[in-house]
Amino acid sequence: MQKKLKLWDATMLVMGSMIGSGIFIVSADMMRNLGSGYWMIVVWIITGIMTVAAAISYGELSALFPKAGGQYTYLTEIFGKKMGFLYGWGLFTVIQTGTIAAVAMAFGKFTAYLVPALNDAAPIFQSGEFMITWIQMLAIAIILLLTYINTRGVESGKILQNVFTGSKILALLGLIAAGFIFVDFSHLAENFSFGTDAFNNIDKDTKGNFLKTGWESIDGMTLMGGIAAAMVGSVFSSVAWESVTFVSGEIENPKKNVVKAMILGTSAVMLLYIAVNFVYLNAIDRDSIAFATNDRVAVSASQNIFGNAGTVIIAVLVMVSTFGCNNGLILAGARVFQTMAKDGLFFKSAIDNNKNDVPSNALWMQGIWASVLCLSGQYGNLLDMISFVIVLFYMITVFGVIYLRFKQPNLERPYKTWLYPVTPIIYLVIGTVFCILLLIYKQQYTWPGFLIVLLGLPVYYFINRNKNTDS
């Protein structure tokens, strides 16, 4: 593969893949689970520490295995083809494609702010609760457009990625500045006045809407459960940074630039996220965050900052953000499926590059399945289920750093994990606590996603029924 991506491009890919629609929405559910500005910021800081610790740990593996496939390659090299396949299976069935579908749908929904006819139009097709809407069709059109652009070559995808990522970073910085300069009345002291007291909102009306009167003080293990539930949102908003490892084969000097891009990108995004949440806490009160219409916290905050123009400003920002995010996800994901095909674990046609030296068949397979998930209407539910699975695979990969140190201590390591073994242990401890708490308190976020991955086992054995493979 040609080395067409420089350090700047790789960093933009990390940041662009991370910043999608989550940061504009998830804080509502986080506040309902925690009821305190203090705890909401604590959860974002914990997520930031987790994310950067994982990126630092991944750096050692990216320098050891500087080729396309990234996390799939690391898991295969360390733990064997079965583990690599299960990750790749999860990535194709729901993790990467489900994220692409959800981000495209967010683009469609916020476009409907600017074009109300999209919201008002009758469904194209409806049978019971299942329906196909024009918003879904717009989401599919965006996926197919970005897939086509990326089949035109890495250069096309790179330029698009840099332009849109740069635009949304500047827009977020503008939102952060405006959130402190133009707010007439600051709610920051009010939102932090609860101190370390946390509250949970559990009361709903007959239609399933949360009631503002339902706040209930929580502490002890109930608070820990609330933190874990809140982290589902912050973790989902902070994943996909590893997408840069998928395109290692196309990055200049990957042994150095991949790890630099991951650390720089994740650190910058987490600082942006924490700052944006301070803007929410400054611009609106607790109830306005927790009960923002359709969880669109950024819209509520922007209306206080910019007046009626706030809705339009945020709609445009989310459209720019989701468009750039999806470009990064589409550009990177197909490289994993191409690498799997080369290992005999995916459709053979995904192996070939087109005349523009990109895996066009893998790109179209990814794009078509993501489009199907848009039509299913279940992509949102699937994504709720995969934060647990994503963290599990992160933990297995981070553990791989420690495992390799024992298994092959004399292996030449161009980059060694900073503060090893403290850094990987920090991630493993936080990740373990997060997963255990979800298993205890929020099982709807755990078993379904885990089962989707386990369904890959019979597929793996079917594919390899006539082969001699390692496990």
Provide the CATH number for the domain around residue 214: 1.20.1740.10
Tell me which amino acid residue 406 is. Answer: F
Q: What value does the mean pLDDT take over residues 372-382?
A: 78
CB contact at 8 A, 75 and 58? no
Total domains, the chain? 1
The number of beta carbons lying within 10 Å of the beta carbon of residue 262 is 28
Closest to 327 in 3D by CA, of 288, 370, 375, 266: 370
Q: What value does the mean pLDDT take over residues 11-25?
A: 93
66-70, 197-201, 253-257, range with the lowest pLDDT = 66-70
CB contact at 8 A, 375 and 418? no
pLDDT of residue 212 exceeding 90, the answer is no
Strand-pairing partners, residue 201, are 215
CB contact at 8 A, 364 and 147? yes
Closest to 209 in 3D by CA, of 280, 294, 289: 294
- Give pLDDT, residue 125: 83
Whether the model pTM is above 0.75: yes
pLDDT category at 259 given cuts 50, 70, 90 is: very high
CA atoms within 13 A on the CB side of 224: 13
- Rounded distance, CA 335 to CA 358, Å? 9
Q: Residue 469 falls within a domain, yes or no? A: no
Q: What is the largest CA-CA distance in the chain?
A: 70
Q: What value does the mean pLDDT take over residues 333-355?
A: 93
pLDDT category at 186 given cuts 50, 70, 90 is: very high
- Give pLDDT, residue 393: 95
- Rounded distance, CA 86 to CA 336, Å? 12
Q: Residue 471 falls within a domain, yes or no? A: no
Give the residue, 220 or 469, on which the prediction is more confident. Answer: 220
Conformational region of residue 230, where left means phi above 0, alpha means psi within -120 to 50, and beta covers everything else: alpha
Question: What rounded mean pLDDT belongs to the chain?
Answer: 90
Q: Residue 434 falls within a domain, yes or no? A: yes
Q: What value does the mean pLDDT take over residues 415-442?
A: 93
Cβ neighbourhood burial of 6 (10 Å; 0-12, 13-18, 19+)? middle
Q: Residue 166 falls within a domain, yes or no? A: yes
pLDDT of residue 308 exceeding 90, the answer is no
416, two tokens: 């060694």
Domain boundaries, position 229 = 7-464
Q: Residue 367 falls within a domain, yes or no? A: yes
- Give pLDDT, residue 39: 96
Q: Residue 1 falls within a domain, yes or no? A: no
115-119, 235-239, 348-352, range with the lowest pLDDT = 115-119
Q: Residue 137 falls within a domain, yes or no? A: yes
218, two tokens: 């929580």
- Rounded distance, CA 256 to CA 90, Å? 28
Torsion on CA atoms 300, 326, 75, 336, rounded to nearest 10: 170
Q: Residue 211 falls within a domain, yes or no? A: yes
Return the sign of the alpha-carbon dihedral for residues 316, 139, 243, 163.
negative
- Rounded distance, CA 458 to CA 52, Å? 35
- % of the chain with per-residue pLDDT over 90: 65
Closest to 362 in 3D by CA, of 82, 72, 104: 72
pLDDT of residue 2 exceeding 70, the answer is no
Q: What φ, ψ does residue 415 adopt, rounded to 5°?
A: -135, 135
